Amino acid sequence: MAFPWLREPWLRLVASAEAGRLAHAYYLQHNVEGGSTEFIQRLNQFLLCKQPGKSACGKCKSCLLYLSGNHPDTWTIDGAQVNRIGVDTVRELQQNVTQTANQNGLKVAVILEAEKMTEQAGNALLKVLEEPPADTHWLVSTKDAERLLPTLRSRMQWLSIAYPTTAQSDEQVTFAKQLLAGLRGQQELPLLKDKDGALSWLDVSENLLMDWLLISQRAAATRLRYQQLADELQHISNYEWVNVAQLSEWVSECRQLRQRYQGSTGINLPLLLSFAWSRWSNTLSA
């Protein structure tokens, strides 16, 4: 493994394979810089390999097909290439995995950035995981596991990988500071002009609220997205009226808004997010 933090979870999977205890579905944190894509690719090849050891042999027909990008028994939905993953895309994948394996071995379905699935797509995936086809494995990555349906997460096994902490960019921290000041009435709220910009601000909103919620729950600072704002969030958590239940509701509102946006092209995301900010700000100033 090129990334040392991937070695331990890899050895756990190999041990499970040797003991015949592999789960039919795994999900893990999507972290391209940390090697999540490489990990999934290696696991995919390992599962398809006809002569695996501690890794795929790289020499059998199945490995050669995989390395050439032509293996007929594996399929990938890459959420990085789309704004949302719709139900038709998941249903097509579902139809593929129900077919007999071309190479008389395992079949592997991969979904990257699965948090982009619409609610209907998530439910479609849930149905197939409730009664998984024989000799089929699912490999799912997500930037935020909590955005997946709880029932969906319960049907998969979490692969814990201790990625190095990645600090938010200075620009993201600046945006979070601007939003926090706007919500507190210290300056004007950001002006949203287009959907792409609103989607970025929606991510900032959710991450900021999650940090605020975690601090209110006295969680470890290492879990924060914007550690530079920890002191300020701690201060306002002590002196401003907003409780854990309210913050949890606002985080859920961000996620529901994202689901609506991903599920319909007619959603006016800038307007809806601006309305949400206004309501939150009014609550804080009440």
pLDDT tens-digit profile of 84-125?
Answer: 999 999 999 999 999 999 999 999 999 999 999 999 999 999
Residues 70 and 177 in one domain: no
Q: Is residue 165 part of a domain?
A: no
147 and 253 inside one domain: no
164 in a structural domain? no
Q: What CATH number does the domain containing 75 carry?
A: 3.40.50.300
Same domain, 24 and 142: yes
User: Would you say residue 220 has pLDDT above 70?
Assistant: no
Mean pLDDT of the 3-25 span = 92
Range of the domain at 281: 170-285
> pLDDT tens digits, residue range 276-285?
999 999 988 7
Is 80 exceeded by the pLDDT of residue 173?
Answer: yes
Residue 256 lies in a domain: yes
* Total count of domains within the chain: 2
The pLDDT assigned to 235 comes to 86
Instruction: Based on the fold, state whether residues 15 and 138 are members of the same structural domain.
Output: yes
The DSSP annotation for the chain comes to --SGGGHHHHHHHHHHHHTT---SEEEEE--TTTTHHHHHHHHHHHHH-SS-SSS--S-SHHHHHHHTT--TTEEEEEGGGSS-B-HHHHHHHHHHHTSPPTTSS-EEEEEESGGGB-HHHHHHHHHHHHSPPTTEEEEEEES-GGGS-HHHHHTSEEE---PPP-PPPHHHHHHHHHHHHHHTTSSPPPPP-SHHHHHHHHHHHHHHHHHHHHHHTT--GGG-S-GGGHHHHHHHHHHS---HHHHHHHHHHHHHHHHHHHH-TT--HHHHHHHHHHHHHHHHH-
Question: Are 258 and 132 members of one domain?
Answer: no
Report the CATH number that the domain containing residue 259 is assigned in CATH: 1.20.272
Does residue 176 carry a pLDDT above 90?
A: yes
| pLDDT confidence tier of residue 135, bands split at 50, 70 and 90 | very high
Percent of the chain exceeding pLDDT 70 equals 93
222 has a pLDDT exceeding 60: no
* pLDDT for 195: 85
- Which pLDDT value is given to residue 286? 65
pLDDT band at 236 (very low <50, low <70, confident <90, very high): confident
**Mean pLDDT, residues 266-279:** 93
